[in-house]
Structure 1
Amino acid sequence: MGMGVSVREAIAKRAAEEIKDGMIINLGIGIPTLVANYIPADVNVMFHTENGVLGMGPAPLKGEEDANLCNAGGIPITVVPGASYFDSTLAFGITRRGLLDITILGAFEVSEKGDLANWIVPGKIVSGMGGAVDLAQKAKKVVVLMNHTDKHGNPKIVRECTLPLTAEKCVDLIITDMAVIEVTEQGLSLLEVEASYTVEDVMKATGAEFHVADLVK
């Protein structure tokens, strides 16, 4: 089952609630890029991209693209007032110093300990790991946005990742089409269930045990 536009948008909208005024943010490719559309106008944040921009703005209108301005995925961008440019060494320096408040990433698998596998599926063509390893290890908060199960219905939240890891014990929050799950020292904690599902549905679709929080929304 593919993910419809509205489902992707719903996940992105929920992720935007994690963003607070004044944050420096890095958004991964895929659903995470949609998060920018849902940040309230009165919340001022700076978007960081690994190729050297802090203060990335929305996508330009057609015909108004600047050939010199793109994000790490090569997609045309705009910049907001106060934006700055630097080389990728400094861009990675910002990440590695732990200066990013939040990074929002996609994933193939997340383990119950918060291990993240999101950069390669063996045998598939891959463009490289990009900044994923640094982002996952060093951002103050790591939020994963993904489908709860893969297209064959297999859980993507598992006891142990089978795919090569991006980073160990790095994920803080998982937001899927079915649920919002926090990774804690005591294990996974179910915080919210999407309206059309039950806690039992989430259990069936999850390949790891989780604690059900007292106030599941």
Structure 2
Amino acid sequence: MTAKLTNAQIAWRAAQDIADGAYVNLGIGFPEMVAKFQPPGREAIFHTENGILNFGEAPPAGKEDWDLINAGKKAVTLKPGAAFFHHADSFAMVRGSHLDVAILGAYEVAETGDLANWSTGPNGVPAVGGAMDLVHGAKRVAVITDHVTKDGRPKLMKRCSLPLTGVGCVTRVYTSLAVIDIDASRFVLREKLATISLDELQRLTGAELRIEGDLADLTVPEL
């Protein structure tokens, strides 16, 4: 298969679409990287389910304050104006549609916008956590993911085979090969790596890719 983007490059590309002043929740693990790549002149306000608003970058090694952690139990710093609140208040923010964007990882995404990002299998995420609330509470839901599984199977599919996190909730997917919108229950290809042909990209995708308007090259910096 052709060369693909690294996780950091996928996270960088997703960060470019976050508006200045947006309230953003990042899923545990890979999506947390998005916070590193805010474009110059823009500043998102990051929310974590365990009760912090406006946290900053991870502290240097050895300088962690373990009373300040995100939902993934990773140490964070605070920005001026940061706030603490009860776990219940945090979920009231989510369920009350006060978040502009949620960016999550995925095992599978369907062309209908359905998302599966947890599994009952032995090697999967064992519980859905707050993701079900996030995908239906945030105003926009995006996914960052490798385009295929470790054994080469498509992660973008006609229908999900794993337990669903949300139905019809995802609007854009940033993968290691492309940027794809979900519009009217269809995968609409917006950007792809110049090094991969449309035929190969389609072969690695489990549902039809449609092109509407101009198709741009997916370009990212070396990171």
- If the TM-score is normalised by the length of the shorter chain, which range does it land in? over 0.9
| Aligned residue in 1 for 2:108 | 109
- 2-side partners of 1:131 and 1:66: how far apart? 24
3-state SS, counterpart of residue 25 of structure 1? strand
| Aligned residue in 2 for 1:198 | 197
C-alpha displacement at 1:35, in angstroms?
1.0
Partners of 1:119 and 1:132 within 8 A in 2 = no
| Aligned residue in 1 for 2:79 | 80
Partners of 1:180 and 1:192 within 8 A in 2 = yes
| Aligned residue in 2 for 1:23 | 22
3-state SS, counterpart of residue 69 of structure 1? coil
Q: Is 1:58 aligned with 2:85?
A: no
Structure 2 letter corresponding to 1:115: D
Q: Cα 1:58–1:97, aligned 2, differ >3 Å: closer, same or farther?
A: same
| Aligned residue in 2 for 1:174 | 173
3-state SS, counterpart of residue 180 of structure 2? strand
Structure 1 letter corresponding to 2:152: G
TM-score, normalised on structure 1? 0.94
Structure 2 letter corresponding to 1:97: G
| Aligned residue in 2 for 1:153 | 152
3-state SS, counterpart of residue 144 of structure 1? strand
| Aligned residue in 1 for 2:70 | 71
- 2-side partners of 1:178 and 1:191: how far apart? 11
C-alpha displacement at 1:65, in angstroms?
1.0
- 2-side partners of 1:193 and 1:10: how far apart? 13
1:21-76 deviation line (CA, Å, top 9, x unaligned): 11000011232111111102421221000000001100011222112100001111
- 2-side partners of 1:30 and 1:201: how far apart? 29
| Aligned residue in 1 for 2:207 | 208
| Aligned residue in 2 for 1:32 | 31
Q: Is 1:187 aligned with 2:206?
A: no
4+ runs deviating over 4 angstroms: none
3-state SS, counterpart of residue 119 of structure 1? coil
C-alpha displacement at 1:138, in angstroms?
1.4
| Aligned residue in 2 for 1:42 | 41
- 2-side partners of 1:121 and 1:201: how far apart? 31
Partners of 2:119 and 2:126 within 8 A in 1 = no
- 2-side partners of 1:116 and 1:126: how far apart? 14
| Aligned residue in 2 for 1:118 | 117
Quote the sequence identity (%): 42
| Aligned residue in 2 for 1:139 | 138
1:176-212 deviation line (CA, Å, top 9, x unaligned): 0111100011511000001221221211100011211
C-alpha displacement at 1:18, in angstroms?
1.1
Q: Cα 1:138–1:177, aligned 2, differ >3 Å: closer, same or farther?
A: same
Greater alpha carbon shift after TM alignment, 28-37 vs 162-171: 28-37
Structure 1 letter corresponding to 2:52: V
Structure 1 letter corresponding to 2:149: D
Partners of 1:173 and 1:183 within 8 A in 2 = yes
Structure 1 letter corresponding to 2:60: L
Partners of 2:118 and 2:126 within 8 A in 1 = no
3-state SS, counterpart of residue 6 of structure 2? helix
3-state SS, counterpart of residue 36 of structure 1? helix
Greater alpha carbon shift after TM alignment, 191-200 vs 152-161: 191-200
3-state SS, counterpart of residue 154 of structure 1? coil
Q: Unmatched 5+ residue regions in structure 2?
A: 217-223
